Amino acid sequence: MEVIIRPTTKEAVNLTARLIAAAIRRKPFFKLGLATGATMEAVYADLAAMNRAKEVDFSRVVTFNLDEYIGLPPEDPNSYRYYMNRNLFSKINIDLGNTNLPDGMAKDEIAEGQRYEKAIRDAGGIDLQLLGIGNDGHIGFNEPISSLGSRTRSKALTPATYAQNSVYFNPPDSMPKRAFTMGVGTILEAARVVMLITGKKKAGIAAKAIEGPITAMVTGSALQLHPSTVVVLDEAAASELKQTEYYNWVFANEPEWKPYR
Protein backbone atom coordinates (compact mmCIF):
# COMPACT_ATOMS: atom_id res chain seq x y z
CA MET A 1 0.00 0.00 0.00
CA GLU A 2 1.24 3.47 -0.91
CA VAL A 3 -0.10 6.46 1.01
CA ILE A 4 -0.02 9.93 -0.54
CA ILE A 5 -0.94 12.98 1.52
CA ARG A 6 -1.74 16.27 -0.18
CA PRO A 7 -2.16 19.58 1.64
CA THR A 8 -5.74 20.27 0.51
CA THR A 9 -8.84 18.39 -0.57
CA LYS A 10 -8.60 19.97 -4.02
CA GLU A 11 -5.06 18.67 -4.49
CA ALA A 12 -6.01 15.18 -3.27
CA VAL A 13 -8.95 15.09 -5.67
CA ASN A 14 -6.85 16.30 -8.59
CA LEU A 15 -4.11 13.77 -7.96
CA THR A 16 -6.71 11.00 -7.91
CA ALA A 17 -8.15 12.15 -11.23
CA ARG A 18 -4.66 12.42 -12.75
CA LEU A 19 -3.81 8.86 -11.68
CA ILE A 20 -6.95 7.57 -13.41
CA ALA A 21 -6.34 9.61 -16.56
CA ALA A 22 -2.71 8.47 -16.78
CA ALA A 23 -3.75 4.82 -16.45
CA ILE A 24 -6.30 5.18 -19.27
CA ARG A 25 -3.75 6.86 -21.53
CA ARG A 26 -1.42 3.89 -21.04
CA LYS A 27 -4.13 1.37 -21.92
CA PRO A 28 -7.02 2.83 -23.95
CA PHE A 29 -9.09 -0.39 -23.78
CA PHE A 30 -9.47 0.15 -20.06
CA LYS A 31 -11.79 -1.38 -17.47
CA LEU A 32 -12.48 1.18 -14.77
CA GLY A 33 -14.22 0.48 -11.48
CA LEU A 34 -16.16 3.46 -10.17
CA ALA A 35 -17.54 4.65 -6.84
CA THR A 36 -20.23 7.15 -5.88
CA GLY A 37 -20.79 9.64 -3.07
CA ALA A 38 -20.02 13.28 -2.43
CA THR A 39 -16.24 12.72 -2.37
CA MET A 40 -16.26 11.41 -5.93
CA GLU A 41 -18.21 14.25 -7.52
CA ALA A 42 -15.12 16.46 -7.58
CA VAL A 43 -13.02 13.64 -9.07
CA TYR A 44 -15.54 13.22 -11.85
CA ALA A 45 -15.63 16.97 -12.47
CA ASP A 46 -11.83 16.92 -12.91
CA LEU A 47 -12.00 13.91 -15.24
CA ALA A 48 -14.71 15.60 -17.33
CA ALA A 49 -12.54 18.72 -17.60
CA MET A 50 -9.58 16.59 -18.71
CA ASN A 51 -11.80 14.93 -21.30
CA ARG A 52 -12.94 18.30 -22.67
CA ALA A 53 -9.29 19.35 -22.89
CA LYS A 54 -8.57 16.11 -24.81
CA GLU A 55 -6.18 14.95 -22.08
CA VAL A 56 -8.00 11.64 -21.64
CA ASP A 57 -10.22 9.64 -24.00
CA PHE A 58 -13.06 7.50 -22.63
CA SER A 59 -14.31 6.19 -25.98
CA ARG A 60 -12.93 2.68 -25.38
CA VAL A 61 -13.31 2.57 -21.61
CA VAL A 62 -15.64 0.05 -19.95
CA THR A 63 -16.86 0.87 -16.45
CA PHE A 64 -18.20 -1.16 -13.54
CA ASN A 65 -19.72 0.55 -10.54
CA LEU A 66 -19.34 -0.82 -7.06
CA ASP A 67 -22.97 -0.85 -6.02
CA GLU A 68 -26.62 0.07 -6.51
CA TYR A 69 -29.63 0.37 -4.24
CA ILE A 70 -32.12 -2.47 -4.41
CA GLY A 71 -35.56 -1.28 -5.50
CA LEU A 72 -34.53 1.90 -7.32
CA PRO A 73 -34.97 2.07 -11.11
CA PRO A 74 -32.24 3.78 -13.17
CA GLU A 75 -34.33 6.93 -13.63
CA ASP A 76 -34.73 7.48 -9.88
CA PRO A 77 -32.65 10.54 -8.92
CA ASN A 78 -31.24 8.64 -5.94
CA SER A 79 -30.11 5.62 -7.94
CA TYR A 80 -26.42 5.31 -8.60
CA ARG A 81 -27.10 4.93 -12.33
CA TYR A 82 -28.69 8.37 -12.25
CA TYR A 83 -25.77 9.71 -10.19
CA MET A 84 -23.21 8.37 -12.67
CA ASN A 85 -25.10 9.67 -15.70
CA ARG A 86 -25.39 13.12 -14.12
CA ASN A 87 -21.91 13.46 -12.67
CA LEU A 88 -19.74 11.72 -15.25
CA PHE A 89 -21.18 9.75 -18.16
CA SER A 90 -23.14 12.67 -19.68
CA LYS A 91 -20.01 14.83 -19.55
CA ILE A 92 -17.45 12.57 -21.25
CA ASN A 93 -17.14 10.72 -24.56
CA ILE A 94 -18.07 7.30 -23.20
CA ASP A 95 -20.39 4.77 -24.84
CA LEU A 96 -23.25 4.29 -22.35
CA GLY A 97 -23.42 0.68 -23.53
CA ASN A 98 -20.00 0.21 -21.93
CA THR A 99 -21.13 1.44 -18.51
CA ASN A 100 -22.22 -1.20 -16.01
CA LEU A 101 -24.01 -1.12 -12.67
CA PRO A 102 -25.90 -3.82 -10.80
CA ASP A 103 -29.60 -3.84 -11.69
CA GLY A 104 -31.43 -2.52 -8.65
CA MET A 105 -34.71 -3.86 -10.04
CA ALA A 106 -33.47 -7.42 -10.61
CA LYS A 107 -36.06 -10.01 -9.55
CA ASP A 108 -33.50 -12.67 -8.63
CA GLU A 109 -30.86 -11.16 -6.35
CA ILE A 110 -28.56 -14.18 -6.34
CA ALA A 111 -28.63 -14.39 -10.13
CA GLU A 112 -27.92 -10.66 -10.42
CA GLY A 113 -24.81 -10.97 -8.30
CA GLN A 114 -23.62 -13.87 -10.43
CA ARG A 115 -24.41 -11.97 -13.64
CA TYR A 116 -22.35 -8.98 -12.52
CA GLU A 117 -19.40 -11.13 -11.53
CA LYS A 118 -19.51 -12.81 -14.94
CA ALA A 119 -19.66 -9.45 -16.71
CA ILE A 120 -16.49 -8.36 -14.93
CA ARG A 121 -14.74 -11.64 -15.76
CA ASP A 122 -15.86 -11.51 -19.39
CA ALA A 123 -14.41 -8.00 -19.69
CA GLY A 124 -11.05 -9.31 -18.53
CA GLY A 125 -11.22 -7.94 -15.00
CA ILE A 126 -10.98 -4.41 -13.65
CA ASP A 127 -7.74 -2.51 -14.38
CA LEU A 128 -8.26 0.17 -11.75
CA GLN A 129 -10.89 0.38 -9.01
CA LEU A 130 -11.69 3.78 -7.53
CA LEU A 131 -12.85 3.69 -3.89
CA GLY A 132 -13.98 5.90 -1.08
CA ILE A 133 -14.52 4.70 2.48
CA GLY A 134 -17.53 4.87 4.75
CA ASN A 135 -17.48 6.30 8.26
CA ASP A 136 -17.35 2.75 9.65
CA GLY A 137 -14.66 1.67 7.21
CA HIS A 138 -16.82 -0.04 4.60
CA ILE A 139 -15.86 -0.17 0.93
CA GLY A 140 -18.71 -0.50 -1.52
CA PHE A 141 -21.56 -1.59 0.71
CA ASN A 142 -19.43 -4.24 2.41
CA GLU A 143 -20.60 -3.39 5.90
CA PRO A 144 -18.72 -4.46 9.06
CA ILE A 145 -18.35 -8.25 9.41
CA SER A 146 -18.63 -8.74 5.63
CA SER A 147 -16.46 -11.62 4.47
CA LEU A 148 -13.12 -10.47 3.11
CA GLY A 149 -13.59 -13.06 0.36
CA SER A 150 -17.14 -11.97 -0.54
CA ARG A 151 -18.43 -11.58 -4.09
CA THR A 152 -21.08 -9.33 -5.66
CA ARG A 153 -24.32 -9.87 -3.77
CA SER A 154 -27.26 -8.19 -2.04
CA LYS A 155 -26.46 -6.75 1.37
CA ALA A 156 -28.47 -5.30 4.26
CA LEU A 157 -27.23 -1.83 5.17
CA THR A 158 -26.30 -0.92 8.74
CA PRO A 159 -28.18 1.78 10.68
CA ALA A 160 -25.01 3.89 10.49
CA THR A 161 -24.89 3.70 6.69
CA TYR A 162 -28.62 4.35 6.53
CA ALA A 163 -28.22 7.49 8.66
CA GLN A 164 -25.21 8.65 6.63
CA ASN A 165 -26.87 8.25 3.22
CA SER A 166 -30.54 8.94 3.94
CA VAL A 167 -29.88 12.69 4.05
CA TYR A 168 -29.77 12.54 0.23
CA PHE A 169 -33.33 11.17 0.06
CA ASN A 170 -36.57 13.12 0.29
CA PRO A 171 -38.05 12.03 2.59
CA PRO A 172 -35.04 10.40 4.29
CA ASP A 173 -36.99 7.27 5.21
CA SER A 174 -37.55 6.53 1.50
CA MET A 175 -33.96 5.28 1.27
CA PRO A 176 -33.74 1.53 0.56
CA LYS A 177 -32.33 -0.55 3.38
CA ARG A 178 -30.59 -3.00 1.04
CA ALA A 179 -28.20 -2.76 -1.91
CA PHE A 180 -26.17 -4.77 -4.37
CA THR A 181 -22.42 -4.44 -3.90
CA MET A 182 -19.23 -5.86 -5.31
CA GLY A 183 -17.70 -8.08 -2.66
CA VAL A 184 -14.44 -7.42 -0.90
CA GLY A 185 -12.97 -10.35 -2.80
CA THR A 186 -14.20 -8.86 -6.07
CA ILE A 187 -12.57 -5.51 -5.27
CA LEU A 188 -9.28 -7.16 -4.33
CA GLU A 189 -9.09 -8.76 -7.80
CA ALA A 190 -8.74 -5.36 -9.50
CA ALA A 191 -5.24 -4.91 -10.90
CA ARG A 192 -4.88 -1.59 -9.10
CA VAL A 193 -6.91 0.23 -6.45
CA VAL A 194 -6.99 3.98 -5.80
CA MET A 195 -8.78 5.07 -2.63
CA LEU A 196 -9.56 8.73 -1.93
CA ILE A 197 -10.21 9.87 1.65
CA THR A 198 -10.85 13.51 2.55
CA GLY A 199 -11.95 15.48 5.56
CA LYS A 200 -11.29 15.45 9.29
CA LYS A 201 -14.32 13.25 10.01
CA LYS A 202 -12.64 10.39 8.13
CA ALA A 203 -9.30 10.67 9.97
CA GLY A 204 -10.02 8.00 12.56
CA ILE A 205 -11.31 5.39 10.16
CA ALA A 206 -8.53 6.18 7.66
CA ALA A 207 -5.96 5.36 10.34
CA LYS A 208 -7.72 2.10 11.16
CA ALA A 209 -7.97 1.04 7.51
CA ILE A 210 -4.38 1.98 6.60
CA GLU A 211 -2.41 1.26 9.75
CA GLY A 212 -4.70 -0.86 11.90
CA PRO A 213 -5.23 -4.61 11.90
CA ILE A 214 -6.86 -6.33 8.94
CA THR A 215 -10.37 -7.08 10.13
CA ALA A 216 -13.83 -7.71 8.73
CA MET A 217 -15.06 -5.00 11.11
CA VAL A 218 -13.26 -2.47 8.84
CA THR A 219 -13.56 -3.92 5.36
CA GLY A 220 -11.34 -1.17 3.92
CA SER A 221 -8.46 -2.68 5.90
CA ALA A 222 -8.48 -5.61 3.44
CA LEU A 223 -6.68 -3.32 1.00
CA GLN A 224 -3.53 -3.91 3.04
CA LEU A 225 -3.52 -7.31 1.31
CA HIS A 226 -3.69 -5.82 -2.18
CA PRO A 227 -0.39 -5.70 -4.13
CA SER A 228 -1.05 -2.35 -5.84
CA THR A 229 -3.12 0.06 -3.78
CA VAL A 230 -2.66 3.82 -3.53
CA VAL A 231 -4.51 5.75 -0.83
CA VAL A 232 -4.73 9.50 -1.45
CA LEU A 233 -5.67 11.71 1.51
CA ASP A 234 -5.82 15.39 2.30
CA GLU A 235 -4.02 16.54 5.44
CA ALA A 236 -7.23 16.57 7.47
CA ALA A 237 -8.02 12.94 6.70
CA ALA A 238 -4.39 11.97 7.36
CA SER A 239 -4.20 13.73 10.72
CA GLU A 240 -4.37 10.51 12.80
CA LEU A 241 -1.86 8.48 10.77
CA LYS A 242 1.37 7.58 12.57
CA GLN A 243 3.73 7.16 9.62
CA THR A 244 3.15 10.47 7.84
CA GLU A 245 6.86 11.33 7.76
CA TYR A 246 7.57 8.14 5.82
CA TYR A 247 4.62 8.60 3.46
CA ASN A 248 5.74 12.13 2.65
CA TRP A 249 9.34 10.96 2.16
CA VAL A 250 8.21 8.34 -0.38
CA PHE A 251 6.15 10.88 -2.33
CA ALA A 252 9.02 13.38 -2.35
CA ASN A 253 11.71 10.91 -3.42
CA GLU A 254 10.34 7.95 -5.36
CA PRO A 255 10.69 8.42 -9.16
CA GLU A 256 7.17 7.21 -9.95
CA TRP A 257 5.70 10.19 -8.12
CA LYS A 258 7.84 12.85 -9.80
CA PRO A 259 5.18 13.76 -12.44
CA TYR A 260 2.67 14.39 -9.65
CA ARG A 261 4.79 16.56 -7.36
Residues marked active site are found at 67, 136, 138, 143
The dihedral built from the CA positions of residue 76, 101, 167 and 20, taken in this order, carries a sign that is negative
Smallest CA-to-CA distance from 202 within 164, 229, 249, 240 is with 240
Handedness of CA 141, 28, 190, 100 (dihedral sign): positive
- The residue type found at 255 is P
Contact criterion met (CB below 8 Å) for 148 and 184: yes
Query: Does residue 198 contact residue 133 with C-beta atoms inside 8 Å?
Result: no
Helices 80-87 & 38-52 angle (0-180, nearest 10): 40
C-alpha separations of 200 from 50, 219, 235 in Å: 28, 20, 8
Q: Residue 203 and residue 209: Cα distance in Å, rounded?
A: 10
Nearest residue to 148 (alpha-carbon basis) of 189, 204, 176, 178: 189
Q: Are 77 and 35 a contacting pair, CB within 8 Å?
A: no
